Amino acid sequence: MSARRGGPPRRQTLVGLWLLLSGVSLLGGALFALWLDGLLEPRGAARWTLWLGSLSGGGTILLVGWLLEQRLFAPLRHLQAQLARLVANPDARDDDPPEGWLQGLGPDLVRIREAWRDDRSRLATARTEGARSAARIRQELEALLQVLETPLLLCDRHRRLLLFNPAAETLFGEAPGLGLGKRLDALLPAASLHDALRQLPEDGSPREVLVPCGEHWLRATLRRIPDSQGETLLTLVDATAAWATELSAGATLTGLLPALRRHGAGLTSAADALSHLSGTDNDQLRRRLAWVVEEEGRGLAERLERLGETLDALQHQAERLTPLWSNDLWAALAERLSAGGLQLTPVGMPAWLKADAPALLEVLARLLERLAAHTGADMFDAEACLGNKRVYLDLCWQGTPLSEGDLSAWRGERLEALPLAPTLGEVLRQHASDAWSLADGNGRQARLRLPLPALERVGAPGPRTPPRPEFHDFGIAELPPPDAELAARPLRALEVVACDTETTGLELRRGDRLISIGACRIVNARLLARETFDLRVDPGRPIPSASTAIHGLTDADVSGAPPASVALPRFRDYLGDAVLLAHNAAFDLLALQPPDSGVRFDIPVLDTLLISRGLDPSLDGHDLDSLAERYGLRFPPGSRHTALGDARVTAELWLALLPRLEARGIATLGELLSLQASAFDREDASAS
């Protein structure tokens, strides 16, 4: 942005020339009238006529200029703003009709606007009819993505992400490399993965590769999509926990096997020797062999016990023991029991536990059926009590505790509804649990208690978040290669990050600091609703009350927030290879690049203020509020002067400016940067 447009905007130039010409004419007329008045010394009407005639030229220029401004130039600017809005957003609300001498154009403009909207409506209807099948497929795809528990990634031939599902978002958490249009290299940089991608067969045959991801190992299955443009599907499984369990159990079993073989061989040898002893043989040898049999038998029993413990550990470490909210368990159990006339009432505080939900539900249902038959009761209370790393599930009734004999018989019952029909006791052992009965302190109630593994988690499950609106965008595959020359890329093919900052004040070169960064991403000319960055920053100094009055942030709001030295690298990671967009970007760049940060944004920067000024140099009002009003954009309540709120409106403003730029023949980033440079004014970078 080295070029600079000299002089004031065109309208100010015209107004200045008009006032200068009027002033010169009036001054010249007054001097001429004074000269004639002294020379001719007229009286009465003649004197008035002389003065009026001398001043009439300047007055006429002043009056005609004012009349042209009010009746022609101002209506023309008003018409220009209307046309700019119509081009940017044909569906924006109607403005006031043309004014002044252009008032007669009002009906014609209304007719043009209505005809345009009618044509667009017909075209939209035709597209809707033709796209119904595609919309149905898309809805089914989005529903599948929401419920599928296997993390999925789909990338194009340039390894840009076209699709990912909620399971992938959960797997990668807050990783900055996850996002539509971002490179797979930034998310999973392992060389082995990218070697496998280069060697994938085109027929869709799968290939597996182990990929490190932080402290985890992922098992990635890669498939090239047949008859596509080189898209690749990756399915991911976190193999770390399974490996840890398998290796631990495998090491134990490996250590037990030689000991079991040794004890078995010892018993076989001793038994063989005993079988060959006659009655006349030495009693001492017989006793020695009996001792060997006893010792080997004891050792074998101990090893078998350890083998059983290891197998039990494998069972309750299995992945089917998943987090479970006790209230969800009680609700499912009550619904199941209602058909049999039993009533279950949850009491006490709910809790999180780990269990195989279907198997545990079957166990509880069987126990309640047996309790009802044994006690004659049809109403039970259900309570989850917290213990030491355990959650006790209690079934309570009015009466006396159960005997151990009854419980032992119930443990041996088989649960035919479960695979392989395990016994009730076997399912309890899989949960490292058992069942016993005890009386309450009041002596009137008894309970049946089942201890289960607790989960280090508190609070009820959060509300279900609405489906993410952008898990896929197959149009990204049509974009130019990411390593193509950036200046030649079409504007609609740019990946753009719109950002805004809030600071402690406006004097950034005199100690004011960053306190908030907000940003959102535009990919393929589409604003991604949830691809946002919103972070508060500890400025290391108090926030003045005058600044708080604007953005509403106080010292308490930024207390505990990361400093700029931590926040700015995070934002740079979020930005990736995108083009940076801001309104009055000079100020935001000063805020994002303090002298001690060590972070530099050496990327193309677009400024909606300069772009608007380059498109409409004759119009006043290029601030964000004026442009939002001009293009029919709205700030959600409470979002103005918040970093993320202003960034969203800046992004929407960019999308509104795109059709106007294309109408002017500005189609590439290089052409836009030239337009932006022509509108640059040193005042735009005046943040002190």
Write the pLDDT tens digit of every residue in 305-337. Answer: 776 666 555 554 444 577 778 888 888 888 888
Give me 280's structure tokens.
Answer: 């006349």
- Looking at the predicted structure, is the pLDDT value of residue 277 above 90? no
Q: Please, are residues 68 and 60 in contact by the beta-carbon 8 Å criterion?
A: no
Burial annotation 90-128 (CB, 10 A radius, 16+ → b, else e): eeeeeeeebbbebeeeeeebeeeeeeeeeeeeeeeeeee
Average pLDDT over residues 374-401: 89
Task: Calculate helix-pair angle for 669-678, 608-615, nearest 10 degrees.
Answer: 80
* pLDDT (0 to 100) of residue 247: 43
Q: How confident is the model at residue 7 (pLDDT cuts 50, 70, 90)?
A: very low
What's the DSSP call for residue 538?
B
Q: Supply the CATH classification number for the domain 476-685.
A: 3.30.420.10
* Contact (CB, 8 A) for 632 and 609: no
More confident site: 92 or 670: 670
Q: Please state at what angle helix 240-275 crosses helix 283-316, rounded to 10 degrees.
A: 160
Q: How far apart are CA 431 and CA 358, in angstroms?
A: 12
Half-sphere exposure in the Cβ direction for 53 (13 Å, CA): 11
Measure the CA–CA gap between 640 and 647, rounded to whole angstroms.
10
Cα(595)–Cα(263) distance, integer angstroms: 74
Backbone torsion region of residue 313, taken as left when φ is above 0, otherwise alpha when ψ lies between -120 and 50, otherwise beta: alpha
Share of the chain above pLDDT 90, in %: 16
Q: For 172-188, how does the pLDDT look when each residue is reduced to its tens digit (9 = 90+)?
A: 877 777 888 888 888 88
Segment among 65-69, 133-137, 502-506 with least mean pLDDT: 133-137
- What is residue 84's three-state secondary structure? helix
Q: What is the CATH number of domain 148-170+204-316?
A: 3.30.450
pLDDT value for 447: 92
* CA–CA gap between residue 590 and residue 688 (Å, rounded): 9
Contact yes or no for 350/293 (Cβ under 8 A): no
What pLDDT, in 10s, does the model give residues 545-555?
888 888 888 89
pLDDT at residue 240 is higher than 70: no
Instruction: Tell me the average pLDDT across 607-626.
Output: 87
- CB-CB contact of 345 with 382 (8 Å): yes
Closest CA to 462 of 601, 325, 593, 314: 325
At residue 408 the predicted structure's pLDDT band, cuts being 50, 70 and 90, is very high
DSSP 643-673: HHHHHHHHHHHHHHHHHHHHHTT--BHHHHH
pLDDT tier, 166 (very low <50, low <70, confident <90, very high otherwise)? confident
What is the average per-residue pLDDT within 428-446? 86
Q: Encode pLDDT of 79-103 as tens digits.
A: 777 777 777 666 666 656 777 776 6
High-pLDDT (> 70) share of the chain, %: 78
Structure tokens at 468: 């993410």
d(CA 603, CA 605): 6
102-106, 243-247, 308-312, range with greatest mean pLDDT: 102-106
Backbone angles phi, psi at 352, to 5 degrees: -90, 145
Mean pLDDT calculated for residue range 106-114: 71
pLDDT of 681 reads 60
- pLDDT exceeds 50 at position 55: yes
Residue 146's pLDDT band, with cuts at 50, 70 and 90, is confident
Confidence of residue 163 (pLDDT cuts 50, 70, 90): confident
Does 268 or 670 have the greater pLDDT score? Answer: 670
Residue 258 confidence class, pLDDT cut points 50, 70, 90: low
Q: Where are the beta strands (DSSP E) in 589-649?
A: 605-607
pLDDT tens profile 213-224: 776 778 888 999
- The CATH architecture of the domain made up of 321-453 is 2-Layer Sandwich (3.30)
Lowest-pLDDT choice from 26-30, 301-305, 321-325, 676-680: 301-305
Alpha carbon 31 to chain centroid, angstroms? 74
> Cα(502)–Cα(514) distance, rounded to whole angstroms?
6
Under 8 Å CB-to-CB from 488, ≥6 apart: which residues? Answer: 668, 669, 670
What is the β-pairing status of strands 579-582 and 605-607?
Answer: parallel
SS3 498: strand
Which of these ranges, 77-81, 93-97, 352-356, 422-426, has the smallest mean pLDDT? 93-97
Is residue 583 pLDDT above 50, yes or no?
yes
Question: Bigger pLDDT: 476 or 236?
Answer: 236
